[in-house]
Chain A
């Protein structure tokens, strides 16, 4: 779409874009650079600009707590992404069967997304607490030996966080996939049916492969939710028991703001940025290249 007046006032578009460009440049890239510098400084309670090289990164590598946080990130991230995409896709396919009251069901599944992670976390904290929630309920119903103590088990608590996260996001993923499914040309499916393909085969070979672009954008949305997960952990376990459910984001917050270790916090933030970049940059690269 060509703007008719662009020839007469060539500076206007640039001028209009300039403020947001400057703001983005300063408050995103400027602050990333500042954080990068803090991570090689001796900052403790307040920012301090004495250069100490990679000492903060050395401390970070030695920190057991950071190792726990990274392991948790891997467990939570893979379960959360796989879980919400798998369940979201399944729900979308089921809803796509031209069923009755689809609108109502769609809203029901999408509702969790309208709630903030803090609420989700608090609700699941009560549901999973052995003395209040599920275990208590089952025992009252007469299953005296029923136990479900994942939330209080340092080795399993991280799965509870993944569970709550999937519950929250699966409906949203469903909506994205559903939109994708509706965009597929009916005639292809009809043609396949004429050729005698079974329904599972149509889904596996035709429909799901043609969802590829939706699949990628969903992956982007869900993986960034996973990496920035913070409020869910704070509400559900506050990083506990002990620090068994710490994630890099909660680690960074604890170090920078409670412990007076701004340098260490900045180093962990840089590591997080590098991890995100490792995922996003190849994707962006491939996307931009195919557009050409």
Chain B
């Protein structure tokens, strides 16, 4: 529709935009993001301040809501009408889809000048590249395979924080006997899928995860290992409370904070909830790798895709933005506020808390050991259409009382073929 917008309309839009930026002769960056709450908003303000120091104008384009769905809808209409922002928060294989539409800009010169190839793990830089060229800049790394535990609840039940799925079931049984909900879970399909991903990694190992979730190899998806994974996954369901469906993840975290529940499987953004409740890591709560995945690391990386812009001053500002995002100052301040860890290797972690230090150590180690894998539940391992179809199948199995392991395996394998 909008592609056939009559030119006068487009010109009016352009004229209006020009009016808006008359004051700024230096470049202007317009950044689409959905960091609108608490620590995230502060983190975005940090980026703004850094760019203003370089003399560029920052035009905020925050669209809140729907975990980015709302922002994506706005972005699509802007891009289709030929009026793309400078940068937008897009991540994972979705970057490739946008690049394939031919709307993203080549950032190779900044990357070369700043030596990104050496600063980023290869698994990460591959995600940021399309046909070998940088089209996006990574901001932070979230680790998804975390287990959050309430030590007081564990003490009361006489259990210990599990390091494998077998231990998990033992601990869960003990917690249940002590009248504590073993696992706090929010029954929304992405949370079901996050739990599934942890079980795949913990039961099958990083190699299996790579084959089944990243390459989506049919043989792996229908193997006996997958059968074991699915059986364990279903067993996890029996240790959640029945009010879980529809619950938001932060309410599940609150259950662990209050000691109503013993554990939660959630990415490191859960740390923000503990911090907001004034809890101290190691004392009031424990952060440990999800069972059986201490050596592996499922990453969820936020990044900014760089769109093609016309004006030369704005192009320069865009490059400033890209360089600023990868700078050590920004990586440190931003990630301290957001609760994630820097994506840039070799940073000083002294100011970070223990959970982030552990996360950073495992990030480096897993990169060397080849066990650094993309999170499928958070759109890092597969394009949205495929990941979505698999998420449907997994969530269906999690919630159904009648679906057998074989049926679930067939459904997931079939969904993985979706294109």
Contact = CB atoms under 8 A, between A and B. Distances in A.
Contacts of A75: none
Given A131-B243, A238-B246, A260 B383 contact: yes
Interface of B: 1, 3, 69, 72-73, 76, 79-80, 94, 97-98, 101, 187-189, 192, 241-246, 383-385, 388, 392, 395-396, 398-400, 411
B217 to A, nearest CB: 22
B246 A44 contact: no
Given A244-B399, A258-B69, A152 B187 contact: yes
Q: Is the contact region of chain B dominated by helix, strand, or loop, or is it mixed?
A: helix
A47 B101 CA distance: 10
A46 B388 CA distance: 17
Interface of A: 31, 34, 44-47, 64-65, 125, 129-132, 149, 151-152, 154, 237-244, 254, 257-261
A220 to B, nearest CB: 29
Given A240-B187, A259-B385, A125 B243 contact: no
Contacts of A257: 69, 72-73
Nearest to A234: B66
Contacts of B388: 254, 258-259
A241 B187 contact: yes
B80 A242 contact: no
Contacts of B398: 242
B407 to A, nearest CB: 11
Nearest to B394: A242
Contacts of A151: 245-246
Contact of B399 (A154, A254, A261): A154
B73 A152 contact: no
Contact of B101 (A46, A64, A130): A46
A24 to B, nearest CB: 16
20 contacts: A45-B76, A46-B80, A129-B243, A149-B242, A152-B187, A154-B400, A238-B188, A240-B245, A240-B246, A241-B187, A241-B246, A241-B395, A241-B399, A242-B392, A242-B396, A242-B398, A244-B399, A257-B72, A260-B94, A260-B383
Main secondary structure of the interface of A (DSSP, over half): loop
B243 A45 contact: no
A46 B243 contact: no
Contacts of A130: 242-243
Of B69, B101, B245, B384, chain A has the most CB atoms within 10 Å of the CB of B245
Contact of B243 (A64, A152, A240, A261): A152
Contacts of B400: 154, 242
Nearest to A65: B392
A238 B69 CA distance: 14
B298 to A, nearest CB: 21
A263 B181 CA distance: 43
Given A152-B244, A243-B396, 7 more contacts: A46-B76, A46-B101, A65-B392, A131-B242, A131-B243, A154-B400, A243-B189
Contacts of A239: 189
A260 B385 contact: yes
Contacts of A152: 187, 242-246
Nearest to A264: B385
B79 A46 contact: yes
A243 B80 contact: no
A131 B69 CA distance: 30
Contacts of B3: 47
Nearest to A45: B97
A232 to B, nearest CB: 14
Contacts of B242: 130-131, 149, 152
A244 B192 CA distance: 14
Given A240-B188, A260-B383, A45 B246 contact: no
Given A129-B243, A131-B243, A242-B395, A45 B80 contact: no
Given A240-B245, A260-B383, A47 B69 contact: no
B250 to A, nearest CB: 15
A242 B243 contact: no
B97 A44 contact: yes
B1 A242 contact: no
A238 B187 CA distance: 11
**Most central of B94, B242, B399 by chain A CB within 10 Å:** B399
Nearest to B241: A131
Given A154-B399, A237-B246, A254-B388, A45 B98 contact: yes
A131 B187 CA distance: 14
Contacts of B98: 45
Contacts of B80: 46-47
Contact of A241 (B69, B94, B245, B385): B245
B1 A240 contact: no
A239 to B, nearest CB: 8
Contacts of B245: 151-152, 237, 240-241
Q: Name the residue in A46, A125, A237, A238 with the highest tally of chain B Cβ atoms < 10 Å from its Cβ.
A: A46
Nearest to A254: B388
Of A65, A242, A244, A261, most B-chain CB atoms within 10 Å = A242
Nearest to A258: B69
A34 B1 contact: yes
Contacts of B97: 44-45, 260
Instruction: Report which residue of A44, A47, A129, A259 has the largest number of chain B beta carbons within 10 angstroms of its beta carbon.
Output: A259
A259 B188 contact: no
B399 A258 contact: no
Contacts of A240: 187-189, 245-246, 395, 399
Nearest to A131: B243
